[in-house]
Chain A
Amino acid sequence: MAVNDDVTRADERGSQAPAPAPLDVPVATQHEIDDEMAAAQEAAPAGLRQPLVDFRPYRSSELRHPTKDLRHADPEEIELFAPVFGHRDVDPIEADLTLNPGGEPIGERIRIRGRVLDGDGRPVAGQLVEIWQANAAGRYVHKRDQHPAPLDPSFLGVGRAITGPDGGYEFVTIKPGPYPWKNHQNAWRPAHVHFSLFGTEFTQRMVTQMYFPGDPLFALDPIYQAITDQRARDRLVSVYDHDVSEHEWLLGYRWDIVLTGTHSTPMEPEEGEHA
């Protein structure tokens, strides 16, 4: 498959017609994908915390996952180091995605508030959180997104923040819409916000997606369902919190992110923290 071919065919969206799946397998129906997901989940070990990377219902993964086991490495000094971000890097207004010279974006205004914690429950302070998302109609400001939904000139869908001393972050944005993609026939992604996160060590780096409670598309989505354990999937779902909502202004969601544990000596958890 040539490079250009890969770009046009395997992009998650690109035209209204479903594109051929990788390896020229006929485009599957949702029912076929459902059956594949059920079989893959049945075969997976119980209680996995991370997604399978070999999860064929997500067609784009087929040629892009390692087939050999990950190799255990003891972290060396450079792997115990993480980049140092700070307020010099990020303007606080970057955490408000609704601020645009063109005016108020269309959609349901929301706040997402949460904390970044390490695997021992300690706050990750002063680190960068990056987010990106579709607009309220389910369209990204990306030239390869050809979903025929309207672009919103007042919404870019990119935000950044530096966590506070308690690991806290907060974004004001618009609730993203679900959108169709070309994985299979009538495939729709649940509404989500992409998050990019750093810990205090290289080993903690992660990128993930935050979802909204009660989305009817959860069961149908092979990216979300690549996490085979229900409790693990739930960790990507924010909670609605009326205390975070604002009178006549916005609705509030809370979502805490837990990174893997560090390799420094764990401290005694403070009272009230989960050990």
Chain B
Amino acid sequence: MTTPEPTDRSGEIANASGDLVPTPGQTVGPFFGFALPYERGHELVPPTTPGAIRFHGTVYDGAGDPVPDALVEITQADADGRVHGAEGTLARDGMTWSGWGRCATTRAGTYSFTTVEPGAVDGRAAFFAVTVFARGLLNRLFTRAYVPGDDAALAADPLLSGLDEVARRSLVAVREDDGSLRFDIRLQGEDETVFLTYPRHEP
């Protein structure tokens, strides 16, 4: 078997449209469970790490029922507020900081990461950048889970300060008695989570 020399088509876009326009998203569907989750994908640090916390929550649908087939990913700064990551994101060797994690929801719609609290980057309000996928959700959703506590930084945050109280509350994680951070994600409803779009995203 030899692979034939490919024709040089580097100037063309290979799809049925052939144009350089962003590819549409589609739902992650019901069957990602055997493909995307991986061993310790939800552990950004080993549970025994000093300062390790749980960042967790439940994904709810518009009827208030848990969503048992969602996938949550987080990207975050380290505890010192540094944004970096070393090659080896899928290899959870206990040493490599990647700043990224993935967790599928359980039958009860819950997810849980083991991580450290992100530090403030350049003195700004600290947050986890969150992506949500689910069966029934036709495109991914982006949001932020802010770390509670630094009221001055939260009040100064450009995104939060433009929101009403209900919307603002949907983006701030809750400090639980056990020290963990809980961030519930509501896909639909009166207290729906605020989801984000960024410049260069076009509907």
Binding site for B on A (CB under 8 A): 1-4, 6-7, 10-13, 45, 48-53, 55, 58, 60-68, 70-79, 81-86, 88-90, 113-115, 117, 119, 121, 128, 130-132, 140-142, 144-145, 156-158, 166, 194, 196, 202-203, 205-209, 213, 223-224, 226-227, 231-239, 241, 243-244, 246, 249, 254-263, 272-274
Distance A99 CA – B99 CA, assembled complex (angstroms): 32
B90 touching A90, Cβ below 8 Å: yes
A89 touching B90, Cβ below 8 Å: yes
Distance A75 CA – B138 CA, assembled complex (angstroms): 23
**Is B180 positioned at the interface, with any CB of A under 8 Å from its CB?**
no
B198 touching A203, Cβ below 8 Å: yes
| Complex interface: chain B residues within 8 A of A213 (CB) | 16
**Is B152 positioned at the interface, with any CB of A under 8 Å from its CB?**
no
How many contacting A-B pairs (Cβ < 8 A)? Answer: 322
| Complex interface: chain A residues within 8 A of B139 (CB) | 50-51, 53
| Complex interface: chain A residues within 8 A of B1 (CB) | 246, 249
Question: How many residues of chain B are within 8 Å of chain A by beta carbon?
Answer: 96
| Complex interface: chain A residues within 8 A of B17 (CB) | 231-232, 234-235
Secondary structure of the B side of the interface?
Answer: loop
24 sampled A-B residue pairs with Cβ under 8 A:
A7-B69, A51-B24, A51-B138, A61-B27, A61-B136, A63-B62, A64-B67, A64-B188, A74-B198, A78-B83, A81-B85, A82-B75, A83-B75, A88-B91, A113-B6, A156-B34, A202-B75, A223-B26, A236-B26, A241-B14, A257-B23, A258-B13, A273-B11, A274-B13
Contacts A81-B75, A84-B98, A249-B1 given; does A258 touch B138 at CB 8 Å: no
- Pick the residue among B2, B6, B35, B194 that contacts A194 (CB under 8 A): B35
Contacts A64-B137, A66-B195, A234-B17 given; does A203 touch B201 at CB 8 Å: yes
Residue from the set A70, A74, A209 with the largest chain B CB neighbour count within 10 Å: A70
**Shortest distance in angstroms between B118's beta carbon and chain A's nearest beta carbon?**
7
Binding site for A on B (CB under 8 A): 1-4, 6-7, 9-11, 13-17, 19-36, 61-63, 65-69, 73, 75-77, 83-91, 98-100, 107-109, 118, 121-122, 124, 127, 129, 131, 133-142, 144, 158-159, 163, 167, 187-189, 192-203
| Complex interface: chain B residues within 8 A of A113 (CB) | 6
Taking CB as reference atom, which chain A residue is nearest B157?
A76
- Pick the residue among B34, B90, B189 that contacts A85 (CB under 8 A): B90
Distance A274 CA – B19 CA, assembled complex (angstroms): 8
A239 touching B14, Cβ below 8 Å: yes
B22 touching A239, Cβ below 8 Å: no
Distance A89 CA – B40 CA, assembled complex (angstroms): 13
| Complex interface: chain B residues within 8 A of A11 (CB) | 30, 135
Distance A67 CA – B188 CA, assembled complex (angstroms): 6
| Complex interface: chain A residues within 8 A of B7 (CB) | 243
**Shortest distance in angstroms between B100's beta carbon and chain A's nearest beta carbon?**
4
Q: Which 5 A-B pairs have the closest CB atoms?
A: A60-B136, A132-B35, A86-B87, A83-B100, A234-B16
- Pick the residue among A65, A82, A142 that contacts B33 (CB under 8 A): A142
